[in-house]
Each structure stands twice: as structure tokens, then as C-alpha cells.
Amino acid sequence: GENVEQHPSTLSVQEGDSAVIKCTYSDSASNYFPWYKQELGKRPQLIIDIRSNVGEKKDQRIAVTLNKTAKHFSLHITETQPEDSAVYFCAATSGTYKYIFGTGTRLKVLA
Amino acid sequence: DAGVIQSPRHEVTEMGQEVTLRCKPISGHDYLFWYRQTMMRGLELLIYFNNNVPIDDSGMPEDRFSAKMPNASFSTLKIQPSEPRDSAVYFCASRGGPSGLTEAFFGQGTRLTVV
């Protein structure tokens, strides 16, 4: 069945450094890849998404890249700040419109 | 729109009792998802509906779990009988749009504790 793997499970970076989180998916029909941020005790919220006809998308300090051939996509956060500390989830969805999430990455930005 | 609304926010129940979680999706959204979140398993998709019809319930862990969507503005997830291992945060999410390739909006979640 469909599967999304996410690495690393935890990530600590110094404030101002960059953070990279990687995901791979199994369903070659997947064509929409959102990233969600979940702060402690709160709901997951979308921070950026990418569709399969695009290789890269940026929004200020965050960017997502997609490699359809290799079936992987990555989240890049530059100039990290303490408020970036949270759990980040990647997801993939296809024509079935079923959202499958990765297992999450706990990002800690050290001041 | 108030967003996706879930109730209750917290539920503490004794093992063996029936638990019903409720969800009101965003008006106009045609997809509704139920997820369970635990530290060990992350966000697990339990079931999802399209236009009130269950499409895939392969994530429902056991027959003790059931979900319904009687109309476009209401869905329930029921656990009967509940067990301590059902303790988790349960999220409802909805999405809409002509292509389906759109953001899913999550409710605040229901934190279930079964003692």
C-alpha cells in the first residue's frame, strides 16, 4: 500500500543554521505533497505544498524540492529561529485523494 | 468559517465504555478524514469520506471502531468498547476543491484517555 517515510525523526540545529527534512513516497501516482507544522498541543497546519508538475517552491525562509524520478521530496528551512521549533510532517496524496503522512520530525532550534 | 470543529476537546472514560467523537467539517468541503495521533505511530489515517460516503476504512484498527457521516456537515467516530490502548489524540480534517489536490484543514483534536 501507500507509504511515506520521513527522516530524521529528531533534528537539533543552532539558531540561524539551516534544517533539512526528507521524505520518500511509494505511490508513483502521488501528485501533491504538503508539509505541516504542529506546535505542542496544537493542530497540524499547512506551511507549504508542492504539486508534481513543479520541482521547487519557496516561501520566504522555507522551500520544498521534489524529485519525482527518485520519489522523494524535502523541506528546507533557512535562518532557523526558536519559533521554528515544532514537529513537521510531510504527506503525499494522489488520485485517491488519500492523505498519507510521514512519521514526523521533531525540530529543535537552539538559541 | 469557524474551521473544522471537533468535540469534545478532552474525553476521559473507563475501559469498556462507549466513546463518540464528533466533527463538523468546513462548509463546502467534500472530503473528511479521521486521524489518530500517538507518539509511536504519528498521524495514522483511520478512514476518509467523499461526499458523505466512506471511501477507505482500511486504517480502522478493529471492529470496535466505526465511523459515520450522515450528512455533509457532521461525522462521528465511535469506539465500543474502549480500551486503554485507544488513548490518543484524534483529529478530524476536511478538504475541498475541484481537483482534490488541496490543503486539508484540521480540527483542534480530541484527546482521549481510557483508564
Q: Which three cell numbers stand for residue A8?
A: 530524521
What is the spatial order of strands in the sheet that B19-24 belongs to? Answer: B5-7, B19-24, B74-79, B65-71
Taking an 8 Å Cβ-Cβ cutoff, which residues of chain B contact chain A? 31, 33, 35, 41-43, 45, 48, 50, 55-56, 58, 91, 93, 95, 100-104, 106-109
CA distance B5 to B62: 25
CA dihedral A83, A87, A88, A93 (to 10 degrees): -140
Tell me whether residues A49 and B48 touch, CB distance under 8 A.
no
Residue matched to cell numbers 488519500:
A98
Minimal-distance CA residue of chain A relative to B41: A103
> Which of B50, B56, B108 lies at the smallest CB-CB distance from A43?
B108
Q: Which amino acid is at B93?
A: A
Q: Residue A4: is its pLDDT beyond 80?
A: yes
Tens digits of per-residue pLDDT, A22-75? 999 998 888 899 999 999 999 999 999 999 888 999 999 999 999 999 999 999
Q: Which residues of B touch A42 (CB under 8 A)?
A: 108
| pLDDT for A98 | 80
Tens digits of per-residue pLDDT, A71-101? 999 999 999 999 999 999 999 987 667 888 9
